[in-house]
Amino acid sequence: MVAGHPVIRGIVRLACEGAGLTVGVEAAGLAEAEAALASADAPFTVCVLDLELPDGDGLRLLGRLGEEGRTVPTLVLSERRDGRTVLEVLRRGAAGYLSKPDGLRRVGWGVRRILAGGAAVEPDLERAAIEELGRTARQAREGARLQGRITRRERDVLALMSEGLTMQQIGRRLQISPRTVETHVRKLYRKLGVRTRVQAVSRAAGLGLLELR
Amino acid sequence: MARRAALVSAPAPAPAPRRRIGVVLVDALPVVRAGLRLLIEDRPDLEVLAEVGDGEGALDQLARTRRSRVVVLVGLGLSGERDAYWVIRTVRERFPSHAILAMGANAEPAAISRALFLGADGFVDKNLDPVEFLQALRAAARGEMVLAAPPSVALGAVARTLDRRRELEVRLTEREREVLEVAAEGLTARQIADRLGVRERTVTTHLARIYGKLGVGNRLSAIRVAARSGLVSVGATE
């Protein structure tokens, strides 16, 4: 169990005992949880993870729980109810997502569901995640469509634009004249349907055409 | 004149009866289509516009429909060159305002992800309770994204497959993706070349470049990456 607040830890402990489980490890933050994961000799059956931890975002731990072929079924608790976060949590392999504070009543139910190999996501949070998935799919499709229309040179220009280089600098880097750079930029704007450099970069990144470092 | 008179004397228009949702059923299995027709025709707000068992026919039927609220239900089991994915992609291109709902039984996350990527507005499982099935249909008609029946964990898996697909789109050129798609059917380089109308030598060059970009050593591993990304469907999806 990883949760910062003692009250939440208490609720989770009660819920787990109700489900016939003993809480092997209680961590109050990321650092404690990492240490427990590293030194644990017996594999965990289930993990209850609060995303709002005093020393950082619990999402980071979720990423780690998914790595190394070790997937501990995890029930996430969070104040965040937006589709993007819920989908990200599920993407990183969590089996359940309950909101705080309303969902805390359902921790016992969630743990039992997960233990049975099922999923425990609150219906409206699941809805939000599905909408977000739809957005992701549309963006991926749109990105792929543009992908085929943007030339390699335009992509080079885009990458350098995203690093904040001026037209002159981009031209020098690619050994083309500033005029040619401007032509590329104009075509890029048209294809992306934008008017400014910032819009171009943010749109391209959103469509997965550009990896922002 | 007559028009103006009509305008003046016309009684306040009665609230227009809400247009029914038109449903086009596309599934390889006649029994499935018949069952869905029975289920749908029983409802006052839904109407089956057409039912077809092949991709080409589905597009023909849609071209004849002059309706605004249309949901196209596509069974992922539709195979052949005009398979379910072809239908989804083509309907999305030609009828951007229609809702497309993919359906399958025990479909893999990669198959669901592929359907969504190509333009489906959702997926419904054929194992679903009929009442929930109809709710999913109505939600799709309202323009909502629908993912009904597969367990929520599948949501994460579908999202991960979409991410991988996106990565593949960035890394491979369109031609390379085409080569990989055909290669996944188990064709030899020679056969791939024939299919795409290029020289065998060109295909092997493409394949070598694909292996390099995907960081794999052979064709089988490349196909596995493609399948995990939902670029191709290997094996049955139903």
Set of chain B residues whose Cβ sits within 8 Å of the Cβ of A126: 152, 155
pLDDT score for B6: 42
pLDDT score for A201: 87
Give the residue from B155, B181, B216 where a domain finishes.
B155
- A46 pLDDT above the threshold of 90: no
- B151 pLDDT above the threshold of 70: no
Question: Terminus-to-terminus CA distance in chain A, angstroms?
Answer: 33
Q: Are A23 and A13 in contact (CB under 8 A)?
A: yes
Set of chain A residues whose Cβ sits within 8 Å of the Cβ of B159: 87, 90-91, 133, 136
The pLDDT-based confidence of A73 (bands split at 50, 70, 90) is confident
Asked if B27 and B59 sit in the same domain, the reply is yes
Residue A213 lies in a domain: no
Asked if A108 and A56 sit in the same domain, the reply is yes
Residues A81-107, mean pLDDT to the nearest whole number: 91
Considering its fold, how many domains does chain A have in total? 2
Asked if B192 and B102 sit in the same domain, the reply is no
The DSSP H or E segment spanning B110 is helix B109-118
Give the residue from B98, B126, B155 where a domain finishes.
B155
Tell me the two tokens of residue B82. 């005009």
The pLDDT-based confidence of B2 (bands split at 50, 70, 90) is very low
Rounded to the nearest angstrom, the minimum Cα separation between B150 and chain A is: 10
Rounded to the nearest angstrom, the minimum Cα separation between B193 and chain A is: 22
pLDDT score for B236: 45
Among A70-74, A125-129, A203-207, B61-65, the range scoring the smallest mean pLDDT is A70-74
Residue A19 lies in a domain: yes
Report CB contact under 8 Å: A95, B165: no
Q: Between B1 and B155, whose confidence is greater?
A: B155
Average pLDDT, chain A: 87
Considering its fold, how many domains does chain B have in total? 2
pLDDT score for B226: 86
- A211 pLDDT above the threshold of 80: no
Task: State percent of chain A over pLDDT 70.
Answer: 92
- Domain extent at residue B215: 172-228
Asked if A11 and A99 sit in the same domain, the reply is yes
- A193 pLDDT above the threshold of 80: yes
**Residue A47's beta-bridge partner residues?**
A74
The pLDDT-based confidence of B117 (bands split at 50, 70, 90) is very high
Nearest to A119 among B113, B121, B153 (CB): B153
Asked if A72 and A109 sit in the same domain, the reply is yes
Asked if B97 and B49 sit in the same domain, the reply is yes
Residues B201-229, mean pLDDT to the nearest whole number: 89
Cis peptide before A101 (omega within 30 of 0): yes
Q: What's the gap between Cα A175 and its chain centre? A: 38
CATH number of residue A48's parent domain: 3.40.50.2300
Give the residue from A131, A165, A183 where a domain finishes.
A131
- B60 pLDDT above the threshold of 60: yes
Report CB contact under 8 Å: B145, A136: no
Give the residue from A73, A102, A131 where a domain finishes.
A131
CA distance B62 to B70: 9
Residue A182 lies in a domain: yes
Asked if B181 and B94 sit in the same domain, the reply is no
Asked if A35 and A87 sit in the same domain, the reply is yes
Rounded to the nearest angstrom, the minimum Cα separation between A53 and chain B is: 23
Asked if B32 and B103 sit in the same domain, the reply is yes
Q: Given CB atoms, is A7 within the 8 Å cutoff of chain B? A: no
Mutation test of the interface with chain B: which of A75, A88, A91, A121, choosing the one with the most B Cβ atoms within 10 A? A91
Task: Read off the pLDDT of residues B24-50 as tens digits, 9 standing for 90 and up.
Answer: 999 999 999 999 999 999 899 999 999
- B237 pLDDT above the threshold of 80: no
Mutation test of the interface with chain B: which of A76, A90, A98, choosing the one with the most B Cβ atoms within 10 A? A90
Residue B238 lies in a domain: no
Q: Which residues contact A154 (CB under 8 A, 6 or more apart)?
A: A184, A187, A188, A191
CATH number of residue B179's parent domain: 1.10.10.10
- Domain extent at residue A196: 149-206
pLDDT score for A69: 52
Asked if A101 and A188 sit in the same domain, the reply is no
Chain A residues 74-93 with a CB less than 8 Å from chain B = 87, 89-93
Residues B123-128, mean pLDDT to the nearest whole number: 91
CA distance B58 to B145: 22
Residues of B with CB under 8 A from a CB of A: 113, 116-119, 121-122, 144-147, 151-153, 155-156, 158-160, 162-163, 165-167, 169-170, 174
The DSSP H or E segment spanning A96 is strand A96-99
Residue B9 lies in a domain: no
Q: Is B31 exposed, middle or buried (0-12, 13-18, 19+ CB in 10 A)?
A: exposed
Asked if B35 and B148 sit in the same domain, the reply is yes
Tell me the two tokens of residue A8. 């939440």
The pLDDT-based confidence of B11 (bands split at 50, 70, 90) is low
Q: Are B145 and A112 in contact (CB under 8 A)?
A: no
The pLDDT-based confidence of A212 (bands split at 50, 70, 90) is low
The DSSP H or E segment spanning B224 is helix B219-228
Nearest to B170 among A121, A126, A147 (CB): A147
Give the residue from A102, A131, A160 where a domain finishes.
A131
Nearest chain B residue to A95 by CA: give it: B153
Instruction: Give the residue among B110, B116, B107 at the shortest CA–CA distance from B232.
Output: B110
Q: Are B158 and B185 in contact (CB under 8 A)?
A: no
Asked if B75 and B182 sit in the same domain, the reply is no
Residues B174-189, mean pLDDT to the nearest whole number: 86
- A34 pLDDT above the threshold of 80: yes
Residues A25-40, mean pLDDT to the nearest whole number: 85
Q: Are B78 and B106 in contact (CB under 8 A)?
A: no
Report CB contact under 8 Å: A208, B155: no
CATH number of residue B144's parent domain: 3.40.50.2300
Tell me the two tokens of residue B146. 């629908």
Give the residue from B106, B122, B155 where a domain finishes.
B155
Residue B5 lies in a domain: no
Q: Which residues contact A140 (CB under 8 A, 6 or more apart)?
A: A208, B117, B162, B165, B166, B169
